[in-house]
Amino acid sequence: MKTLALLFSVLALGAYAADEAKPVAAPAAPVAPKDVQVEVLDVDGKRFVLVKNIGSAEEFANFEQNVKIISQEKADATQVKQLAELALTTPEREARTRELEGKLARLQADNTAMAKAYGFDLSRQYTVIPTKLLILTALSNDDYIKLAAGKDFKAESVINGGDNKKFLLKDTVTGAVDVESFKLLVQRVLESRKALQQLVDLQPRLTKEEDKKKVEEALKNAQSEVNKALEEFKKARTYDLPNELTIQTAEAKLYTLLSDEEKKSLQAQVDSKKDEAKKDEKPVATPEKK
């Protein structure tokens, strides 16, 4: 389970190339599917194409973990390469080179596995768009016992988080637009609370009466902003924002950035398939005029 900040992060992992080995090979340009349904995403003048629909919380968690692992492998290989270049003796350099070859072989194998499972390759740039979030609140053992004893208890309302932790499913947010809206609502509350806390921490350190009065006024305004943000959240989601919550990505879309050449290639494939579809269409007979 991840924090809100991580859920909306953009993955941008560059290619790694060593003098002692070939760089990780980039995959070919995306191929348009037979039904010509190519999903693209335009961000700041850049075009991304969908390569993977991630359809469950478990799959998304595995994807994030795998990206973390392969990124660390890349960092480790880079470090060993630098150590090999700085080696002062031939035996040390040879040992580091062998170590590097082993790490690159593992990196290549894992990169190939990631490409097969997710359409992910270290040489490409990606963005992840969550399309479904599970909003969870932690349950103590006592809370769970009371909840489970209720007449209206539904087992699916409780999510097991591992290590004997349980969470109550408070809300489900579905659709990229609603997910982004939810993110902004929560962000506003968190930022307003942070501003209020900063003023609270500052207040005891002030010695001048003039400064104290200014902070008192600022505190009133900051508290008002917190209240407005909480009211806006409740109006949009119909419940109060919990003081502590866990946000779990249940579904997401993985897009890869297209180069100019890939854009042209993909568009040509789409146009070609559309032309083929038109040729296969049977002409509709028109009634004769009498």
Per the structure block, which two tokens stand in for 201? 């921490």
Structure confidence at residue 253 (pLDDT): 96
Q: Is residue 88 in a domain? A: yes
Bridge pairing between strands 246-257 and 126-139: antiparallel
pLDDT: which is higher, 167 or 28: 167
Q: Is residue 143 in a domain? A: no
Cα angle, residue 139 at apex, residues 138 and 140 outer, rounded to 5°: 125
**CA dihedral sign of residues 209, 214, 215, 221:** positive
pLDDT: which is higher, 68 or 5: 68
pLDDT of residue 72 exceeding 70: yes
Structure confidence at residue 63 (pLDDT): 96
Task: Report how many domains make up the chain.
Answer: 1
List, in sequence order, every residue forming a beta bridge with 41; answer none if it has no partner: 48
Task: Using pLDDT thresholds of 50, 70 and 90, give the confidence band for residue 79.
Answer: very high
Give the separation between CA 59 and CA 250, rounded to whole angstroms: 8
Q: Is residue 176 in a domain? A: no
Give the separation between CA 128 and CA 131, rounded to whole angstroms: 10
Structure confidence at residue 275 (pLDDT): 74
Average pLDDT over residues 175-181: 96
Backbone angles phi, psi at 44, to 5 degrees: 50, 45
Average pLDDT over residues 112-116: 95
For the chain, percent of residues with pLDDT exceeding 90:
64
Indicate the DSSP class of residue 290: -
Structure confidence at residue 50 (pLDDT): 94
Q: Give residue for tokens 């398939």.
A: 273
Task: Using pLDDT thresholds of 50, 70 and 90, give the confidence band for residue 62.
Answer: very high
Segment among 26-30, 101-105, 106-110 with least mean pLDDT: 26-30
Cβ pair 129, 41 in contact under 8 A = yes
Q: Is residue 277 in a domain? A: no
Per the structure block, which two tokens stand in for 79? 């470090």
Give the separation between CA 114 and CA 107, rounded to whole angstroms: 10
Q: Is residue 109 in a domain? A: yes
Quick one: 35 exposed, middle or buried, by C-beta within 10 A (0-12, 13-18, 19+)? exposed
CA dihedral 239, 64, 162, 180 (to 10 degrees): 0
Q: Give residue for tokens 């809300």.
A: 171
Give the separation between CA 185 and CA 230, rounded to whole angstroms: 8
Task: Using pLDDT thresholds of 50, 70 and 90, give the confidence band for residue 271.
Answer: confident
Structure confidence at residue 22 (pLDDT): 39
Average pLDDT over residues 36-55: 87
Q: Is residue 212 in a domain? A: no
pLDDT of residue 138 exceeding 80: yes
Q: pTM here?
A: 0.76
pLDDT of residue 263 exceeding 70: yes
Give the separation between CA 24 and CA 88, rounded to whole angstroms: 28
Task: Using pLDDT thresholds of 50, 70 and 90, give the confidence band for residue 264.
Answer: confident
Quick one: 136 exposed, middle or buried, by C-beta within 10 A (0-12, 13-18, 19+)? buried
Domain that holds residue 18: 4-129+250-265
Per the structure block, which two tokens stand in for 57? 């919380």
Task: Using pLDDT thresholds of 50, 70 and 90, give the confidence band for residue 282.
Answer: low
Structure confidence at residue 20 (pLDDT): 36
pLDDT of residue 167 exceeding 50: yes
Neighbours of 127 (CB within 10 A): 18
Task: Using pLDDT thresholds of 50, 70 and 90, give the confidence band for residue 85.
Answer: very high
Give the separation between CA 215 and CA 209, rounded to whole angstroms: 10
Q: Is residue 72 in a domain? A: yes
Q: Is residue 86 in a domain? A: yes
**CA dihedral sign of residues 73, 77, 82, 88:** positive
The pLDDT tens digits of the residues spanning 183-234 come to: 999 999 999 999 999 999 999 999 999 999 999 999 999 999 999 999 999 9
